[in-house]
Chains A and B, each alone.
Chain A
Amino acid sequence: MILSRLGRGTVLALAFLLALALAVPVLNLAVPPGSSFHVPTHWVVLVGKWLTFALLAVALDLVWGYCGILSLGHGAFFALGGYAMGLHLMREIGPRGVYGHPVLPDFMVFLNMKELPWTWWGFSSFPYALVMALAVPGLLAFALGWFAFRSRVTGVYLSIITQAMTYALLLAFFRNDMGFGGNNGLTDFKDILGFSIQAPGTRATLFALSALALALGLLVARLVVTSKLGKVLVSIRDAESRTRFLGYRVEHYKLFVFTLSAMMAGLAGALYVPQVGIINPSEFAPANSIEAVIWVAVGGRGTLVGAALGAVIVNAAKSWFTGVLPEYWLFALGALFIGVTLFLPKGVLGTLTTLRRPRRAAPTPAPVAQPAE
């Protein structure tokens, strides 16, 4: 029943992710380094990072691909989740900082602060940090959406607003007064829940958790879009006014899916930070959020699995380029933006699907370019 609702592609993707979550830690930890099946730790970290990006892409695809909300500020939700986790990891350091202060992190000692700001309250507890990683992006998205959707700010205007939001947050987090480490952000983490953050075991566990989180995100998103609510979302995407005239409270649907998506992005950020070991304000840069949009576009807008795939493809290409031809990465990324929008409007997955079953009726619902109002 549920399997048929998910569709074959999603089931395959979920199965693959579960297999990945089991296999990679085993291949990394249990297989000796000399063996050709061994997965080196730096690969575990790198792919783990991509998986969190993929989760961000799925979150973005949920709002863009299925509801037509092009958010250029999803990087902000991702970064907020990351900061929530970063705050917890900072508190975990305890008195082991360079200055050895029993409570305050190094940068606060350096800035001559006397006590923890109120915003740090409770972050010594891991569950609290995890809740915050979901709640803060969720609340921000809810507040922004509450205002924007009710006053019917749509399309490009909403994109610009979300971009301004992440830009404002970027500026705010650069300030030392915010108490979040200013320019340098939060780093020098020691351990998480008592396990050293550098240990291969911790890294493998984080990898498995990222894979599971991505699977969970795909599952939730898939269930949402295949539900009755999902049908309404698609109709909002394709003809917002008509949906409203049919009696649906468009802004409620949008608000729900936008908030859900922001919380998924926050979870992705929370998993990202312990793996890369740093979170700083540059994560809020508008360019990051737009890059996330191109992952979705490359993989295939409105396909969920494709978005995750796109994130991995683009980031793999980025890793390869920055290693081999660092000068040309931006050229390639720019060309990707142009090429995908001009020649692959359905993305890799969407195009593959259409190519594979050209005769069959009703392929993957491709987004309608010009909403017929």
Chain B
Amino acid sequence: MSMFRRLAAALTLAGLCLLQTIPAGAAGLSDILPRFATDSYGDTEAAVVAVAASGDAQALPIIEALAEGRLLVAPDRRILIRDRAGALFDAATGQAAAPAAADLKPVRTNNRVRRSIEASLGGLSLLATDPGKRLESAQSVFKSRSAAALPALRTAIERERDPRIKRALIEAQAAIAFTAPGTPELDRIVAVGVLADRADIDAQAVLRSLPADASPRLKEVADRAIADIDRRLAVVGLAQNVFYGLSLGSVLLLAAIGLAITFGVMGIINMAHGEMVMLGAYTTFVVQELIRARAPGLFDVSLVIALPLAFLVAGGVGVLIERGIIRFLYGRPLETLLATWGVSLILQQAVRTLFGANNREVGNPSFMSGSFEVLGVALTWNRVWIIGFALAVFAVLLFVLRFTSFGLKMRAVVQNRRMAGSMGIRTPWVDALTFGLGSGIAGIAGVALSQIDNVSPNLGQAYIIDSFMVVVFGGVGSLWGTLVAAFSLGVANKFLEPFAGAVLGKILVLVFIILFIQKRPRGLFALKGRAVEA
């Protein structure tokens, strides 16, 4: 809150200063134009500055024409513009002019005039009708800090209605006021306030280039502002890191959540889990290819179509694996591990044979591309969607386990298989469906991961170890543990990266988990009671 109040105060102050320094009443074009006709460089230069400051819609074409030698003086001292096609226009009004006699003389320029032209051109695009262009030029003036742009800047600030652009303009003015020699002390201090509110690296750079004639007081104010900005940047950096960490965490959550079912709840070591993710990603690829070929208009909903299909494909393969292999190996976890590793090799090679070993292109639908900014933190849409999606999948899974009849049966079988069987639950089918559910969720994860990762036959391999780490860290059998573990590992990874680098950060996290498992072999959220012994 206080930040906004300060900003508002600074803006008002800056505005007041401006009003005092702006020359009273800009002259009209008709008064200025004749000075181009005097054929004196001094007059031409003065006219350029005056035209630029006039804020007239014709100002930009006039100065552009002058820069390219297309500003002409007619014998009757009228000023004309010849456009690039050769047609003539009246400079003051912009209306087509009758082709006059042959002896039109171009207004001559020398180096000084050309410098003035350049500065004015920069300033003039501040008045362009396109808001994007205005913002861009305000930012470029901020970077160049050229004092020649000041008059145009003042006019622009006066006219600007868009608050964002107005702020950029005022910041540019502050940057100039701060660095240009001879600015009054008070203006500079106001400028420091504006720059401090901008609070980014560029503003800091301006504040660091303290002019030579700065007073000790100004220096102190500037130093304080720099320190202020440092703090703000640290906070923004922190927020950015947390976001990246949450984003990585959501990816881990997506990859691990299916495993939390198959490994955590059923106790099956499914080394082919990563390949279920890969199948989901390839399902997305196939869906997008079909849509590209048959119905390009549906491209934006391709992911929505792919989601249920990926669930069915991966879930179906999961049921097949359970019925065909795993059910013979219950109670022999190490053998299960080896057999499912074999399944993963076969699936990888099958996909490689079908689709080739190279990465496949999966496109982002429009709502997932681009980025936006919240309080200085840049967020990309696809990451935001994936965070939301991971949480949604998690919520749905919790709901299924807790409030559906299938979830009830599943929990019953996990808690006491024989008792559940005696109550008439067909435990083999519950096993198969539970495994299918875990695999299907992995397939859904594949749809999301296809948006941010390379879709290749090795996709699953990249996630399998991380997924196991998440599940073990969180506590086997605890969905909430998986959630907490995924996000804390994601955030920890991203916070280690700046200090240790990406690879070393990952190694440190792995080592940490290895040590953690020694300390608490049952994970963060250990199940207590009889279930542990089962």
Contacts and interface: CB of A to CB of B under 8 A. Distances in A.
A93 to B, nearest CB: 28
B334 A70 contact: yes
B472 to A, nearest CB: 6
Contact of B507 (A171, A294, A333): A171
The interface residues of chain B, by DSSP majority, are classed as helix
B410 to A, nearest CB: 21
A19 interface: no
Contact of B269 (A156, A330, A331): A156
B342 A338 contact: yes
B290 interface: no
Interface in B495-528: 503-504, 506-507, 510-511, 513-515, 517-519, 521
Interface size class of B (residues with CB under 8 A): 35 or more
A155 interface: yes
Interface in B466-488: 468-469, 472
A156 B344 CA distance: 18
B209 interface: no
B339 A341 contact: yes
A152 B350 CA distance: 39
Contacts of B469: 160, 164
Nearest to A174: B503
B346 A341 contact: no
Contact of A337 (B269, B338, B510): B338
Contacts of B337: 70, 156, 159
A72 to B, nearest CB: 8
A159 B511 CA distance: 15
A251 to B, nearest CB: 12
Interface in B445-492: 461, 465, 468-469, 472
A352 interface: no
Contacts of B519: 151
B513 A337 contact: no
A147 B325 CA distance: 34
Contacts of A335: 342, 346
Contact of A370 (B332, B346, B348, B521): B332
A155 B263 CA distance: 13
A152 B517 CA distance: 10
Contacts of B468: 160, 163-164
A168 interface: yes
A121 interface: no
Query: For A153, A327, A338, which residue has the most chain B Cβ atoms within 10 angstroms?
Result: A338
Interface of B: 269, 271, 325, 328-329, 331-339, 341-346, 348-350, 352-353, 461, 465, 468-469, 472, 503-504, 506-507, 510-511, 513-515, 517-519, 521
Interface of A: 70, 144, 147-148, 150-153, 155-157, 159-161, 163-165, 167-168, 171-172, 174-175, 286-287, 290, 293-294, 297, 327-328, 330-331, 333-338, 340-342, 345, 369-370
16 contacts: A147-B515, A151-B521, A152-B521, A155-B333, A157-B517, A159-B337, A161-B517, A165-B510, A290-B338, A293-B338, A294-B342, A327-B349, A330-B345, A330-B346, A331-B346, A338-B325
